[in-house]
Amino acid sequence: MTTSHYIAGRWVEGQGSDCISVNDPALGLPFAELMAASVAQVDQAVAAAREALHAWKQTSTGQRAAYLRGFAEQLGQRREALITLQMRNNGKPRHEAEIDLDDAIATFNYYADLAEQLPQKNCDVPLAAPGFTARTRLEPVGVVGLIVPWNFPLVTSAWKLAPALAAGCTVVLKPSEVTPLIEQTYGQIADTLGLPAGVLNIVNGKAETGAALSGHNGLDKLSFTGSNSVGSQVMRSASAQCRPVTLELGGKSAIVVFDDCDVEQAVEWIVAGISWNAGQMCSATSRLLVQDGIAEALLPRLQAALDNLRVGNPLSEEVDMGPLTSQAQWLKVASYFATAREEGLQCLAGGKALDRDGWFVSPTLYVDVPADSRLWTEEIFGPVLCARRFATEAQAIAEANDSRFGLVATVCSADLERAERVADALDVGHVWINSVQAVFVETSWGGTKGSGIGRELGPWGLSGYLSVKHVTRCLG
């Protein structure tokens, strides 16, 4: 699998110095290898996108919409292969891999619809001053770099790629080196659809490739999803060019359970918020705030639910949770288990790596965790849930907001007026009330504070790839 880079409409071999090993996390073994792109190949990809930009942004919005619907249709035709690859390379259970694919398909169809509506956004602007007319034009930002993470490949790239193409931008996409294979599907689909050469380019690689792309002076915008540490480097690179960025970064999100909540439903929402994708999601609700009146009933049931989750290889058995996606992440989560022991935290469930092949850990629950514990304040990116009790609504809001992150939160209460009030008071970008983390393409995605800059999905995702031009004319 050496021809892993799609540049100017052609598949080419990697010329970089890094060899990327693609692993099956359920076995802890590699199943593919590819060579990274060189810095020169990143240059070629950006140049190809620049060369294609003028013609692509001149295409009608109807033509762009047709291409986007073609992407959606082609993803559906590759359904079983893509689901299997998500299970094999990410360790996702089948039901999660199916939802990922459906999400990507819905994203391309949604932005196809929005693309067709773009001409309506070019309109006259009423002026108070006489003797002048003004009109608005929405134009593509230009050449954009897209850097996507390993926890939701295919999905995160769809969230970026679909609105960028809808806006008339050309793209250089860099997938994660942990999960580089599934994004190649987009290059294959581009070939099938006859997408003009250079509109979509894909370069694979590790840190060197990412740095070459994020610091490239040929980009007009960069969109990055990943860790805060890398996000800060991306932001520094962008600042040197005064380039706009969208950053979707980390989270340490709270789930607040009031004592009027149905216990069994609350357990379902809590487990889903920490075990989905083995907790490897920036939106994981890893801080549980449970009101005093329900804590004694809820915590034992939660412990049992976590203990009873079926953990295993999604390709060989029916499971609720798969392995962590990489050995590096497995080692990181194991280090937090060690920290919990050093801090003397009370562990009700899990708290250990599993003694089997692959990168498995147990779903974990710590209770009465101090607010200054590293496990309470730091993003772990694994199925590790920390619980604290609260007495009042005001206390719950204050503790939920006491974080350097502000991505999402969940509120569980039978009192819907209170739930809505608490949701309004939380300093985050998205709140669920009495629900699992259902994400819809029509809503926005992004956070406050250290969780990033900008929004994806919905019309806000499209606006991030558009610039506003006003044309003012004197009538005299």
Which residues are known catalytic residues? 248, 282
Count helices and strands in the chain by DSSP H and E runs:
15, 21
Number of Cβ atoms within 10 Å of the Cβ of 32: 15
Cα→Cα distances 420→265, 292, 390, 411, 423, Å: 18, 21, 18, 9, 5
Strand pairing of 143-147 and 170-174?
parallel
Distance CA 251, CA 70 (A): 34
Tracing tokens 């809590």 back to the chain, one arrives at: 270
Query: In the structure encoding, which two tokens stand for residue 371, read together?
Result: 């607010």
Distance CA 123, CA 130 (A): 18
Read off the amino acid at residue 357: D
Distance CA 395, CA 112 (A): 44
Query: In the structure encoding, which two tokens stand for residue 234, read together?
Result: 């991306």
The burial class, CB within 10 Å (0-12 / 13-18 / 19+), for 463 is middle
The burial class, CB within 10 Å (0-12 / 13-18 / 19+), for 56 is buried
Number of Cβ atoms within 10 Å of the Cβ of 293: 14
Q: Across-strand partners of 367?
A: 346
| CB within 8 Å of 58: residues ≥ 6 apart | none
Q: Which of 212, 214, 203 is nearest to 177 (CA)?
A: 203
Distance CA 49, CA 177 (A): 22
